[in-house]
């Protein structure tokens, strides 16, 4: 899940909420949406390995 921050950067959050905090886990901050999408697809790939 990618959200645009007020600074203009993009942050990748986990799809599920963290049971401890009740919030989504931060999986990285990126300068472009394309970079965030590339990292998201890499995460999905390694989740299935």
Q: Which residues contact 14 (CB under 8 A, 6 or more apart)?
A: 1, 24, 25, 27
Percent over 90 (pLDDT), the chain? 94
Number of domains in the chain: 1
Residues in contact with 35: Cβ distance below 8 Å, sequence separation at least 6, in sequence order = 10
Which domain does 26 fall in, by range?
Answer: 2-47
The per-residue pLDDT for 48 is 86
The model's pTM is 0.84
If pLDDT is split at 50, 70 and 90, which confidence band does 47 have? Answer: confident
């Amino acid at each position: 899940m990618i959200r645009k921050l007020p600074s203009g950067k993009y942050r990748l959050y986990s799809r599920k909420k963290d049971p401890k905090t009740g919030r989504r886990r931060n999986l990285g901050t990126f300068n472009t949406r394309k970079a965030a999408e590339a990292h998201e697809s890499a995460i999905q790939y390694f989740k299935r390995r």
